[in-house]
Amino acid sequence: MSELAVKAQKLDAADELAALRDRFVLDPGSDRVADAAGVYLDGNSLGALPASVPDRVADVVRRQWGELRIRSWGESGWWTAPERIGDRIAPLVGAAPGQIVVGDSTSVNVFKALVAAVRLAREPGHGGRRDEILVDATTFPTDGYIARSAARMTGCALRPVTPEEVPGALTDRTAAVLINHVDYRTGRLHDLPSLTAAVHEAGAHAVWDLCHSAGALPVGLDEHGVDLAVGCTYKYLNGGPGSPAYLYVRKELQDRFDSPLPGWNSHAEPFGMHPEYEPAPGALRGRVGTPDILSMLALEAALEVWDGVTIEAVRAKSLALTDFFLECVAEYVPAGRVESLTPRAHAERGSQVALRCADAGDVMKRLIERGVVGDFRHPDVLRFGFTPLYVGFGDTERAARVLAETLAV
């Protein structure tokens, strides 16, 4: 057994979170895995299945829908699910209750948040023309596409800048800034506290996209005075494929949150059937249409894996895992064959490792055939996501070893 394999065993033995793995359905024995138990390092794309989900979903389908039917909107708590599940996510991102609603896709929530942010910036007293939106030039594309639409529909110019360039790009024309907390491609963690402060200093509002940070590291939304944030729930929150996204609106801004999608679910009296829109108080104002109950209640069950778990412990293990993976890669993989795009500094690292590799598409195919599942991002990036709730150090060492063997072929 190699030195690193021995080290992995020791790290696993000392891992306080190791037992959480039992809260997931893993290794059901895929016929694809020829020579090793699977190592799932794609939880930054689709989280593994929490063990509590299948029975819950079956109950929602068979009893809540099949038997109680329409009564479940009240009796099974369907109607209040978006804010109830929002409150379940809140502690994971450092938010007090009453500020998050779950529903719609991340893209739709980016639209709500960004348009609302521009409208906030144009309230009296902000000064300036407020006709420009800054958008993270390195963003996952959908945020950029939606930002362009939000800019077009609010009469703003859209200006792509890297997160590092944001402070220098802020002017009294800046209405809103859309930034990713962790870069989807490189895994770089951006400095949320200082960037938020700079945006505020310029009289603008920040919208943070937490897709690649929520559930992997502390976000501190309330602590750092974030205005608006969005995120998906199918990565580190393990909500299932395409599970509903969420929207955070800071309490002090909720009364002025002016949604471009004012559906009946955000009305102060949704069953009053009033022809005029009157927005509900609080986070509910971020709701739109009828919530997608099957997906939403699967997510609610999935969030039970967080019972008794602190995000700080998860972060500590996440850094230990990515450190260890980089160490194993450096040891096993021939020099120059891959190049890490992920920052070495902990303060700049999310919970994934991105390796640049000339033939990344082919390499990932072969890795997956051998049971090591990461993903490929065009044109030359191997992505490996580390979910501390179910990934161990032995998995990590094995993944690096299989990677080295694959690259040696």
Site residues for a copy of itself, 356-395, by CB under 8 A, read: 368, 373, 375, 377-378
Active-site residue, 356 included: no
Q: Does 73 bind a copy of itself (CB under 8 A)?
A: yes
Q: Which of 42, 143, 183, 209 is catalytic?
A: 209
Residue 340 lies near a copy of itself (rule: CB under 8 A): no
- Shortest distance, position 45 Cβ to a copy of itself, whole Å: 6
Q: Which one of residues 163, 187, 286, 291 is an interface residue with a copy of itself (CB under 8 A)?
A: 291
One-letter identity of residue 397: E
> Is 232 among the residues that bind a copy of itself (CB under 8 A)?
yes
Residue 163's contacts (CB-CB under 8 Å, 6 or more residues apart) are 136, 138, 179, 180, 190, 191, 195
Among 65, 77, 315, 394, binds a copy of itself (CB under 8 A): 65
Q: Distance between CA 316 and CA 16 in Å, rounded?
A: 11
Is 366 marked active-site? no
* Near a copy of itself by CB under 8 A: residue from 128, 145, 218, 222: 145
Say how far apart CA 86 and CA 99 lie, in whole Å: 8
The single-letter DSSP state of residue 342 is S
Q: Can 236 be counted among the known catalytic residues?
A: no
At closest approach, how far in Å is the CB of 267 from a copy of itself? 7
Q: Work out how close the CB of 394 gets to a copy of itself at its nearest, in angstroms, rounded to a whole number.
A: 19
Tell me the sheet residues that pair with 135: 160, 178
Catalytic, 209? Answer yes
Q: What is the CA radius of gyration of the chain?
A: 22
Site string for a copy of itself, 190-229 (x = CB under 8 A): ----------------------------------------
Report which residue type is found at 147. Answer: A
Q: How far apart are CA 106 and CA 111, in angstroms?
A: 9
Does 48 contact a copy of itself by CB under 8 A?
yes
State the chain's maximal CA–CA distance in angstroms: 72
- Distance between CA atoms of residues 184 and 138, nearest Å: 9
- Is-catalytic flag, 140? yes
Closest CB 39 distance from a copy of itself, rounded Å: 12
The neighbour count for residue 199, using CB atoms within 10 Å, is: 25
Point out the catalytic residue in the list 24, 111, 140, 332.
140
Distances (CA, A) of 86 to 49, 98, 242, 245: 20, 8, 16, 10
CA distance 337 to 155: 47
Name the residues annotated as catalytic.
140, 209, 234-235, 383
